[in-house]
Structure 1
Amino acid sequence: MTSHSPEPENPLAPDEALGDLLDQIAEQLGSPVPAHLQAALRAVPRHLFLPPTLWLRDGNGGHEPADREDEPDRWWRAAYSDAPLVTHFTESSDGDRFPSSSASMPSVVVRMLRALSAEAGHSVLEIGTGTGFNAALLAFLCGPENVTSLDVDPELTRRAQRALKACGRQPEVVCADGAGGWQPNAPYDRIIATCSVRTVPLPWLEQTVTGGLLVIPWDTPWCNFGMLHATKQADGTAEGTLAPYGSFMLLRAQQVDAELRAGMPPTGQEPERSVTAVSPWAVAGNDLDAQMYIGLRVPGAWHVWDTEVDEAHTRLRLADGRTSSWACVDYDGRQTSAFAVAQYGARKLWDEVTRAYEEYVAAGRPGVHRHRLRLIPDGRSTRLEVSVPA
């Protein structure tokens, strides 16, 4: 078990470092940080919740370490920068290491707390304790006796408990699968998740009071982006909108082994072949509004880019692990008016994606914020209804 080591002297002026961070957050928000959240950030030093080694993005899709003992200036600047920081890696069964916990970008933390509208006396359930930083902010805003925080990882739970004790704010932190909520302290006025979901677990809805708010990062296999702001209705449903910010790790209970295989298409499967005028970059490029629209309307569809294929300059691979359906869309490296398509399986994935994209264009290219979501209890889970009002 790794523990927080005694911290060296901060080489940065604390007030100056926090002031710089507040300025960075305000720039992202387009307005000053609300006074009550400024007070929370001043009362809860972020560095107390960070491990001695942080993993920073290296600019090449990976991460490199920043050690507090060896590189104090770099570590402290990262601690008070408006950036996400990977704090923990997990090793998969095949030996690959992947980020499994992180300290969220502070401006996203502020956006979520602002949307949550949590006040003194509100009962709050947090799904995903992580470092404990967000739980400490909630304890400042609502009172520690009103905050329950869950994390499925026992090591992270212990670290967070120690950091919360050092900070002097100790909400109830429980090592448990957040998908089940936490019935002993229910019902809750507010539920906030620091992990994304593809389906809102039914207990979250059931454990929220009528009129209560849920702030939950959203995810589809096609696009991990967006934040659900929803209000619990008297009929047991919840209604809300998506906000265009936030990209979080998926709730552990909803993680599935459905990676697209490098060997696709599999040998022996003869696909249907055609040509499309829809650019693969239009549906899987930098247009997150288009990606979210497609992700909500083509359930289960994944995509990944591949530049190491013999038959094409660049290939967009699509798949649905549940039906073994797949598709490939190839760019030949020369012209951008026609792209070769191969599709196989019960679902014609590229046809579904292009239909959704054409609907998106016909609807005036609605932004993420235009979507209205309705969560409906459905047996042991929830069902999603999506609309884009005219």
Structure 2
Amino acid sequence: MASGALSSDWLPTFNAVPRELFVPDRIWPGIADGTKQNPVVDRWEDAAAWRGAVYSDIPLTTQWDDGDHDGDGLGTTPSSSNSLPSMVFTMLQDLDVRPGDRVLEIGTGTGWNAALLAHRVGDANVVSVEFDAEVARGAKANLGRARRDPAVVVADGRAGWVMRSPYDRLIATCSVLEIPPAWLEQMAPGGVIVAPFGTEYGGEHIVQLTVSGDGTEARGRFTRSSAFMRIRQQRTERPLFAEYLHGAKWPAGATRTTTKLRPPDTGGWLAQFVIGAGVPAAFWRREQYENGAYTLWLYSRDTLSWATADHIPDRTEYEVYQSGPRKLWDEVEAAYHWWAERDRPSYERFGLTVSPDGQQLWLDTPDNPVPQQH
């Protein structure tokens, strides 16, 4: 693989488990460094384009809108895919599986990742949990064609699969806002958990956690940036703006201030992740205008607080409105400045600790938690 993600020890597995056996006839090819999808490619209408997509280092959307989408166009939200190959193999390297390891996978998808694991550690040592019964049926068919037979069960992935626990390794192919307690409970001491971890505000990275000797805690660092589909049970509601005004007209008594922080500076993938770590239960939308101007809208999950920051190119001061018990722009600005004052550390300096008391993001060491602005 040109990216270098495919190390020599995984090459025999890659050759033994061809990706094309796990890709349906109709796919929506993505791009390597983002979340955009391209028009549908049908194997029977353009075999060369289909094969070219399959053997490119890009993700392939295989389902939209939890299966409710029909037709050739793009759906609203991708809900299943065959992941970016370089991401598949770098996550498998993070997982560091050993011969005979018992592995739990959360999110079967097309079954390719489960097949790769089964080839490496044996069919009997792999359990893959998929919430969508139709997706699971397709994965089982794909696994049969590849002559692989890991256990595929239809269940809520947050609950793991206790009947085959404890596991030495757990890998998630869907992103989470919180590491479910059952995952930690079903791991053997010293086990490794690899999962895409994001914040509600935005941003996501792969975390590699090691379970403590007594099994009560998991701790580790982030290894790379990622953009996976969220596990369905942790998707968050996005109320409409009218619910925040509570019957009043904008600006509904909001307080007006100004800021010198450019709203675009808060919008990078890593910036969103850091802000989300310090500003919980909040999210954003952007209202775009002409010539690059836009309004950044901030919302609290409980619909009690909102804020706006107006970005106009070439200006050095920006208008802000805030309403509710939380001053959301102030929180976002404080979280951003905390990061900027430390020279904007990258994702690999951040880590996560998970315990029965909850989870804590930290910078460099566990005793240096990311401060909560709310």
TM-score by length of 1: 0.85
CA distance in 2, matches of 1:94, 1:131: 17
Tell me the residue number matched to 2:301.
321
Q: What SS does the corresponding residue of 2:225 show, helix, strand or coil?
A: coil
CA distance in 1, matches of 2:42, 2:354: 43
8 Å CA contact retained: 1:226, 1:244:
yes
Tell me the residue number matched to 2:372.
none
8 Å CA contact retained: 1:260, 1:317:
no
Distance change in 2, residues 1:144/1:100 (3 Å): same
Tell me the residue number matched to 2:362.
386
Q: What SS does the corresponding residue of 1:218 show, helix, strand or coil?
A: strand
8 Å CA contact retained: 1:273, 1:342:
yes
Tell me the residue number matched to 1:56.
29
Runs of 4+ deviating beyond 3 Å: 57-63, 91-97, 259-268, 387-390
Which residue of 252, 272, 276 maps to 2:259? Answer: 276
Q: 1:182 and 2:145 equivalent?
A: no
For residues 343-390 of structure 1, the C-alpha deviation after alignment (integer angstroms, 9 at most, x for no partner) is 111211110111111111111211111012111113xxx333423348
Which amino acid is the alignment partner of residue 279 of structure 1? R
Number of aligned positions between the proteins: 355
Which amino acid is the alignment partner of residue 181 of structure 1? G
Which amino acid is the alignment partner of residue 316 of structure 1? L
8 Å CA contact retained: 1:260, 1:318:
no
Equivalent residue runs for 1:308-387 within 5 Å: 308=289, 313-333=293-313, 335-378=314-357, 382-387=358-363
Q: What SS does the corresponding residue of 2:204 show, helix, strand or coil?
A: coil
Task: Tell me by how many angstroms 1:261 deviates.
Answer: 4.0
For residues 149-191 of structure 1, the C-alpha deviation after alignment (integer angstroms, 9 at most, x for no partner) is 0000000000000100110111000011101000000000000
Tell me the residue number matched to 1:75.
50
Which residue of 117, 125, 130 maps to 2:96? Answer: 117
Task: Tell me by how many angstroms 1:224 deviates.
Answer: 3.2
Distance change in 2, residues 1:60/1:231 (3 Å): closer
Identify the range of structure 1 (275-284 vs 251-260) with the bigger mean alpha-carbon deviation: 251-260
Q: What SS does the corresponding residue of 1:354 show, helix, strand or coil?
A: helix
8 Å CA contact retained: 1:87, 1:102:
yes
CA distance in 2, matches of 1:323, 1:163: 44
Distance change in 2, residues 1:130/1:308 (3 Å): same
Task: Tell me by how many angstroms 1:97 deviates.
Answer: 3.4
Tell me the residue number matched to 1:299.
280
Distance change in 2, residues 1:344/1:224 (3 Å): same
* Structure 2 segments unaligned to the other structure (5+ residues): 369-374
Distance change in 2, residues 1:181/1:263 (3 Å): closer
CA distance in 2, matches of 1:349, 1:296: 14
8 Å CA contact retained: 1:224, 1:248:
no
Tell me the residue number matched to 2:59.
84
Which amino acid is the alignment partner of residue 169 of structure 2? R
Task: Tell me by how many angstroms 1:98 deviates.
Answer: 1.9
Identity %: 36
8 Å CA contact retained: 1:128, 1:150:
yes
Which amino acid is the alignment partner of residue 86 of structure 1? T
8 Å CA contact retained: 2:130, 2:154:
yes
Tell me the residue number matched to 1:248.
228
TM-score by length of 2: 0.89
Distance change in 2, residues 1:60/1:132 (3 Å): closer
